[in-house]
Amino acid sequence: MAFLMKSMLSNQVKNLGLGGGGEESKEESTPSDPAAAAGMTREEYEEYQKQMVEEKMERDAAFAHKKAERACLRVHLREKYRLPKSELDENQIQMAGDDVGLPEDLQKMVAEDQVEEEDKDSILGQLQNIQNMDMDAIKEKAQATFTEIKQAAEQKCSVM
C-alpha cells in the first residue's frame, strides 16, 4: 500500500516539475550516436577509434617486449648463478619473439663481468692475486705450521 502511494505521489510531483522530472529530460536530450556526443562526424569518429586501437596495440607490444627483456635478464642471471629455470620467463620470451635480448647497457655490463671473471680464472689472474697477498703473513703461517708439525713428530717419535 505504501508503495502504491509513493509511486502515485512521485509521478504527480514529476508532472508538476518540482523534482526528479529533470533527469528524464536530460537523458532524452543526449544523443545516442557517440560521434555526435564527441562533436565529430561519423568518419572522424571512426578514424579516431582506429587510432586509439592502433596506439593501444603499440603500447601492448612495447610492454610485452619490455617484459620479455626482463625475463631474458632473469634467465641470464639464473644461468650465471646456476639457479633453477623458470618456465614463465621462457614463455614470455617466446611470446615476444626470438629477437628479444638483453638491453644494450646490460650487455655491456655482462661483457665486462665476463672479462673480469676470465682474468681471475686464468693463470695470469692467479699470479696477480699472489702479488696482492701479504707475503709476510703467509711466511709466518707456514713457519708456525712447520713448527707445530715438527713438535708433534718429536713427541711421537723417540728417535728424533
Is it the case that residue 53 has pLDDT exceeding 70? yes
pLDDT at res. 50:
95
pLDDT at res. 99:
74
Note whether 39 and 45 are within 8 A (CB).
Answer: no
Q: Considering only residues 20 and 6, tell me which one the structure prediction assigns the higher pLDDT.
A: 6
pLDDT digits (tens, 9 = 90+) for 65-112: 888 888 888 888 888 888 899 899 888 888 887 677 777 787 788 788
CA distance 160 to 156: 9
pTM for this entry: 0.47
Note whether 119 and 125 are within 8 A (CB).
Answer: yes
**What mean pLDDT is reported for the chain?**
77
Nearest to 70 by CA among 33, 37, 96, 41: 96
**The three three-digit cell numbers of residue 39, written as one number:** 562533436
**The three three-digit cell numbers of residue 45, written as one number:** 569518429
**The three three-digit cell numbers of residue 114, written as one number:** 665476463
pLDDT at res. 30:
56
CA distance 60 to 67: 10
Helical segments of the chain, H only? 2-16, 21-29, 34-38, 42-80, 87-96, 104-121, 123-132, 135-156
Is it the case that residue 131 has pLDDT exceeding 80? no
pLDDT (average), residues 54-63? 94
pLDDT (average), residues 51-70? 92
Please, what is the end-to-end C-alpha distance for the chain in angstroms?
121
